Structure 1
Amino acid sequence: MSRTRLAVWGDPIAHSKSPLLHAAAYEVLGLDWEYERRQVTEAEFAGAVRGLDDSWRGLSLTMPLKDEAFRIADSRDAHAELTGVANTLLLGASIAAFNTDVGGIIDALAEKDLSGVGEVRLLGAGATAASALVAVKDMGATRVDVRARRPERASALIALGERLGVTITVSTFDEPASSVDLTIASLPGGTVLDESIVRPLSDEGGKLFDVAYSPWPSALAMAWTGGEAIAGLGMLLHQAVRQIRIFLHGDPSAELPDEIAVVAAMRAALQA
């Protein structure tokens, strides 16, 4: 019987919860698919992909491989094209790249009754911030305040905002803060901001969606008083659901058989 193999690659990778999520889903779906984790550096990535045989169906990519995944692909979905990064590769005669982080953010916020926003603040200016920008645009945002330690690194977000028709302002964390509906933090796990910075951002920041989830609550979530603090586990779950749709159907919008049961099993695996 032929094998169907998948994996999550990144550097580091030992912390990844993706194998738990995918194994739970494939059990419900009745698929005898193998899903593993592998540490792969940026320098190794292209050669490692070329070395895969035809038993490989797809890859999930985490940092620092999302840029490389975008570049190696023969085709890309709209969200990958907009953000310039991909976290999913569908393998075969050609390589198709997808960014499921955008949809994962939208789905995670919808679970918290956040389906529409007007003004948003992004903390951080990296690849995840780009996905968050596209997500909030799809949710109706018209203005986004980007905060970064080094505002010059936000040039790609400014350009993306122009393409999306979203007004972008960029400043350091300690600039005065105006009121927003939602704050999305894409800062590295373990980041601690000074209380003098967090307090005004929290007072005017609405709900907080922090992509960090381990440990939880994050330092930012513990200091947040402006509204509910939402962990990034929901994003992790829902971006994985979209990956599994891709691996099964080739389409991130095509629902899985008995998807409610699949998502419940994946959520239980995370909680366990």
Structure 2
Amino acid sequence: MLRRCGVLGDPVAHSLSPVLHRAGYAEVGLDWAYDAHRVAAGGLEAFLGGLGPEWRGLSLTMPLKREVLPLVDHLTDRARLAGAANTLLLEDDGSRVGDNTDLPGATAAIRERTTAPLATAAVLGGGATATSVGLALADLGVRTLELLVRDASRARETVDALRAHPGGVEVRTSSLEGDAAVEADVVVATIPAGAQTDALVARCGGVPVVFEVLYDPWPTPLAAATLASGRTLVGGLDLLVHQAALQFELFTGLPAPLDAMRDAGERALSARDPA
């Protein structure tokens, strides 16, 4: 039986997940399929109901990471802490396990690029990805975290999840549209490239480590400014590769060929670059 996996979300056509997972399958000799499927908000339950026994796992992106929670039979501790799952493991007995590989993936991505001690952080945005990366930062020692958001009431779930971290994290919110300089050991951008105004990029100009979770378009305004200044940049492809490698291992039970997956992602991104 051909095993199937895939990535779900809306939008999803831009996703590099098929490239990464297929490269992994080819490297280890698995004849598996992995495709992208557009599933809009409110459509996940119906999609899952139509899956056959050949399906093994799903990668979930916006807007499904929280929508999936009531649809699983089991939730890992890290997914429960994050209040979001980006990974759905479909067991042979029909049960569904929700996991979050964004959290350990973010930890690995950060430590791949810097070993600097991190005690304070600022996160641009307050959604599910902000939660996962914020928790990863807490795992790495951050104890003071500022969320810069447009509407603090919409970031309530993220604030609650971060405050629930066992390390004890002081969390506060402020406006994305303010004018005060961002002061932190690391700043994480989880907002669209179009929301990265010149003023916001300038506010982040003094932060020594920048984590841009996007990989398309690339570079974003914040990533470009970071590269130009010579500061440390953790990129969206770093996060994608590490979290995808963890998914690969959960789905297949085999060690992930990280280098092959990363190389495939880099080639695909280069092919998209009109330059």
Q: Give the alignment's TM-score, normalised by structure 1.
A: 0.90
Measure the CA separation in 2 of the matches of 1:219 and 1:84: 29
Q: Which of 252, 256, 271 is equivalent to 2:266?
A: 271
Residue identity in the other structure for 1:87: N
Cα deviation, 1:53-104, whole Å, max 9, x if unaligned, reads 1111111111111112222111111121011111111112210001111111
**Structure 1 residue ranges, 4+ long, deviating more than 6 angstroms after superposition:** none
SS of structure 1 residue aligned to 2:115: coil
Structure 1's 122 and 226: CA in aligned 2 closer, same or farther, altered over 3 A?
A: farther
Identify the range of structure 1 (237-246 vs 176-185) with the bigger mean alpha-carbon deviation.
176-185
SS of structure 1 residue aligned to 2:68: helix
Partner of 1:212: 214
Measure the CA separation in 2 of the matches of 1:248 and 1:158: 34
CA-atom RMSD in angstroms:
1.7
Structure 1's 157 and 66: CA in aligned 2 closer, same or farther, altered over 3 A?
A: closer
Measure the CA separation in 1 of the matches of 2:182 and 2:63: 33
Partner of 1:38: 37
Is 1:6 aligned to residue 2 of structure 2? no
Unaligned runs of 5+ in 2: 268-275
Q: CA deviation at 1:189?
A: 3.6
Q: CA deviation at 1:269?
A: 0.5
Task: Please say if residues 144 and 170 of structure 2, whose CA atoms lie closer than 8 Å, have aligned partners that are also in contact.
Answer: yes
Measure the CA separation in 1 of the matches of 2:208 and 2:196: 19
Is 1:22 aligned to residue 24 of structure 2? no
Q: CA deviation at 1:116?
A: 4.1
Partner of 1:172: 175
Give the share of equivalent positions with the same residue, in percent: 38
SS of structure 2 residue aligned to 1:31: coil
Measure the CA separation in 2 of the matches of 1:59 and 1:10: 10
Structure 1's 138 and 219: CA in aligned 2 closer, same or farther, altered over 3 A?
A: same
Measure the CA separation in 2 of the matches of 1:53 and 1:89: 15
Identify the range of structure 1 (52-61 vs 170-179) with the bigger mean alpha-carbon deviation.
170-179
Is 1:234 aligned to residue 234 of structure 2? no
Q: Which of 190, 193, 203 is equivalent to 2:197?
A: 193
Q: CA deviation at 1:42?
A: 2.3
Structure 1's 151 and 177: CA in aligned 2 closer, same or farther, altered over 3 A?
A: farther
Structure 1's 45 and 181: CA in aligned 2 closer, same or farther, altered over 3 A?
A: same
Cα deviation, 1:140-159, whole Å, max 9, x if unaligned, reads 11110111122232222322
Task: Please say if residues 213 and 231 of structure 1, whose CA atoms lie closer than 8 Å, have aligned partners that are also in contact.
Answer: yes
Residue identity in the other structure for 1:218: T
Partner of 2:123: 122
Residue identity in the other structure for 1:58: G
Q: CA deviation at 1:43?
A: 2.5
Task: Please say if residues 207 and 226 of structure 1, whose CA atoms lie closer than 8 Å, have aligned partners that are also in contact.
Answer: no
Partner of 2:150: 149
Residue identity in the other structure for 1:117: L
Is 1:95 aligned to residue 128 of structure 2? no
Cα deviation, 1:227-258, whole Å, max 9, x if unaligned, reads 22332110000000010111023xxxxxx44x
Measure the CA separation in 2 of the matches of 1:222 and 1:178: 17
Partner of 1:72: 71
Number of residue pairs aligned between Structure 1 and Structure 2: 260
SS of structure 1 residue aligned to 2:12: coil
Partner of 2:140: 139
Q: CA deviation at 1:107?
A: 0.9
Residue identity in the other structure for 1:11: D
Measure the CA separation in 1 of the matches of 2:151 and 2:265: 34
Task: Please say if residues 109 and 115 of structure 1, whose CA atoms lie closer than 8 Å, have aligned partners that are also in contact.
Answer: no
Residue identity in the other structure for 2:88: L
